[in-house]
Amino acid sequence: MARFTELDRYLLGQATHYNIYEKMGAHPRKIGKKTGICFDVWAPHAARVYVIGEWNGWDETANPMIRDDDNEIGIFEAFIPEAQVGQLYKYLIITQDGRKLYKADPYANAAELRPGTASRIADISKFRWTDDGWMKARKSGDIYAKPMAIYEVHPGSWMRHPGREDEGFYSYREFAVALTKYVKDMGYTHVELMGISEYPFDGSWGYQVTGYYAPTSRYGAPEDFAYLVNYLHKHDIGVILDWVPAHFPRDAHGLADFDGQPLYEYPDPKKGEHPDWGTKIFNYGQNEVKNFLIGSALMWIEHYHVDGLRVDAVASMLYLDYGKQQGQWVPNIHGGHENLEAIEFFKHINTLITGRNKGAIMVAEESTAWPMVTGKVEDGGLNFSFKWNMGWMHDFLDYMKLDPYFRKDNHNRMTFAMSYNTAEKYILVLSHDEVVHLKCSMLKKMPGLEDDKYRNLKVGYGFMMGHPGKKLLFMGQEFAQPTEWNEERELDWYVLDDPRHKGVQTWVKALLHLYQEHRCLYELDSEWNGFEWINADDSYRSIFSFVRKSADGKDNLLFVFNFTPMERSDYRVGVPKDTTYKLVLDSDDTKYGGYGAHSKKSYRAEKSPCDNREYSFAYPLSPYGVGVFAFSYLDEKKPLKKSAAKKTTTKKPTTKKPTTKKPAAKKPAAKKKTTAKK
């Protein structure tokens, strides 16, 4: 009896076989009294297919696969009692013209450590998950109203074992413990892992994938990767994976011309190849190919409990002419350059993933002005959960690299992103792509002498953390890594002996904890009533000030940034309300490498017009200074002292009635103020 049934073939042909990873590939099975491994592979153009592996001495004819005469979809199957979990194997495909192709299993759950290219039989059903609390909590609440501060990590170069004869990689299990400790201490909420799907070439960083269903063997077995996710979840850290459905490499053992002809890629090279990257483009119009990608995504989300996928190079999928010259691409049926099949693929997979897995997210790395990337499908959108804000990133870095003297003429680079902030659900990113290929590290991008570079970086990070949008920082940026990232070695952890690097790390840690502690910094990211400029036009002094607001008006922060080395001892900032402003973060503190913390920790608004506002307060602003102040839009409860006196006089416990009676009468007025500002 065939393991791959008529129903399986039908669902695969409709691109709706959502548990395909449980059927295709190599899986332990018992048939009658025999136990063994069942192999299934899609190869419709093949003349014959054999399974070769360690159990048969790689004998090319020992284990032929069977294709049913009625099997038009092209599934070959074999049940081999001699095969065992842990053994290596490949498919030998005999093409219609008699060529022999030795292919890794596209659906394999594990792979041989590179430079080997064989697949490895694995049983991924045995891991015992203990993250029920996390998985239940993930389903609750609104993802947009939750904090998301992401630490982007390449496991092989984050940290390595010194002095080992091998490459010194941390295993998934070692990585779990070390990374969790660091991430929790720093204050990140999520990690985004690069290079997890199996890939042959280290220099691709995992963006040229050959194993879409296999965690890379560089760091351990599939159950070890599951342990990593489980461990992070038990410590309340979310896990996002880079996922690459845009293209795949030409490696002989991989997907390219899999059965002797284009199968996973478009047959026409004008549609099926990226000339700049030298890679193949998936055929999004072929249902079996779409199902292959959908099944991969679902496996990571549903089997490995991953919380989200960051989809790489989305723009290259949406545009038929991406990276191509005239004559190198084929227009769609309407004569346009949009890939209509890729658009439908995104609508399908994003709706499916987020619909079946409440709280899971799909993130687009999309670098163009394509509309409604995070819009709903019914409104014509692609239904991604979030979009990387590449526009903000480019403007931010262009501004930060400028000598402070010229920043006054480029002031709009830091304000422009707010003009389109509500168009999408954004993540602000300073990713690995910004610190490679001679782009310099974040520290080296900064202008000025050495000390000024650190201060520039700190005020830049402060602006990023205050600005609306979820956050992402690549590893090493949090402590001002001095050199560009190199996947062949670990980060420059030794620089933390330098107080300047330590000061940056401590500053980022303070920003991250501030971010998690204040709802105003994440619950209204994409809504106008969550942000208000105090002064967006102080270009001559290169000073920015704005307010982040909570939905209930109770938790709000005022940010002030000085992007020049000029001291502004006479600085005064306009404020939206006559109340007290508490200094909660001060870049002048010496623990951050500042000039010496402000001794005054609270500032009462004065009736002194400034920044087109009735009230203001004076705050001496140091060179590259950042000040963050907490306040409430609700009226202060001035009668509290009287309530306390009544408590002493009557010698009774304070009741709610005397302490809330007067403030309760003022609530309608407070609501009117909040509404008016909207």
Tens digits of per-residue pLDDT, 93-111? 999 999 999 999 999 999 9
Q: Which pTM was predicted?
A: 0.91
In a domain, 167, yes or no: yes
What is the domain-level CATH number for residue 10? 2.60.40.10
Does 78 share its domain with 146? no
Catalytic residue among 312, 341, 478, 586: 312
Residues in the chain: 678
- The set of residues, in sequence order, having a beta carbon less than 8 Å from that of 648 and lying 6+ positions away, is none
- Is 185 one of the catalytic residues? no
**In-domain check, residue 132:** no
In a domain, 130, yes or no: no
Indicate the residue among 457, 487, 521 that finishes a domain.
Answer: 521
Together in a domain, 373 and 438: yes
Say if residue 150 is in the same domain as residue 272. Answer: yes
Distance CA(475)–CA(158), nearest Å, equals: 7
Mean pLDDT of the region 258-281:
96
Cβ contacts of residue 459 below 8 Å, gap of 6+? 561, 562, 563, 587, 624, 625, 626
Q: Is residue 128 part of a domain?
A: no
Q: How far apart are CA 565 and CA 623, in angstroms?
A: 4
Tell me: do 312 and 329 sit in the same domain: yes
| CA nearest neighbour of 273 among 256, 298, 292 | 256
SS3 track for 516-558: HHCHHHCCCCCCHHHEEEEECCCCCCCEEEEEECCCCCCCEEE
Same domain assignment for residues 594 and 493: no
Q: What is the pLDDT of residues 601-643, one digit of tens each?
A: 999 999 999 999 999 999 999 999 999 999 998 865 443 333 3
Examine the domain organization and report whether 558 and 586 are in the same domain: yes
CATH code for the domain in which residue 616 is found: 2.60.40.1180
User: Last residue of a domain, which of 59, 89, 120?
Assistant: 120
pLDDT at 60: 97
Catalytic one of 105, 152, 273, 365 = 365
Q: How many CA atoms lie less than 13 Å away from 106 in the CB half-sphere?
A: 25
293 domain-assigned: yes
CATH of the domain at 148: 3.20.20.80
pLDDT of residue 479: 98
Give the range of the structural domain holding residue 49, as residue numbers without chain letter. Answer: 6-120
Residue 131 domain-assigned (yes or no): no
pLDDT at 598: 86
Local structure of 240: helix, strand or coil: strand
Per DSSP, what are the bridge partners of residue 532? Answer: 547
Q: Yes or no: say if 573 and 611 are a contact pair by the CB < 8 Å rule.
A: yes
Same domain, 309 and 433: yes
Q: How many structural domains are present in the chain?
A: 4
Handedness of CA 347, 350, 353, 354 (dihedral sign): negative
Q: Do 44 and 185 belong to one domain?
A: no
Quick check: is 255 in a domain? yes
Is the domain of 656 the same as that of 510? no
Does 127 fall in a domain? no
C-alpha gyration radius of the chain: 29
Structural domain ending residue among the three candidates 64, 85, 120: 120
Nearest one of 501, 382, 492 to 435, comparing CA atoms? 492
Query: Taking 90 as the threshold, does the pLDDT of residue 662 lie above it?
Result: no
Residues 547 and 428 in one domain: no
User: For a pLDDT cut of 70, what percent of the chain falls above it?
Assistant: 93
Q: What does 325-371 look like in DSSP terms, one character per residue? A: -TTSS---TTS-SB-HHHHHHHHHHHHHHHHHSTT-EEEE---S--T
Tell me: do 218 and 319 sit in the same domain: yes
Q: 365 catalytic, yes or no?
A: yes
Q: 556 and 500 in one domain?
A: no
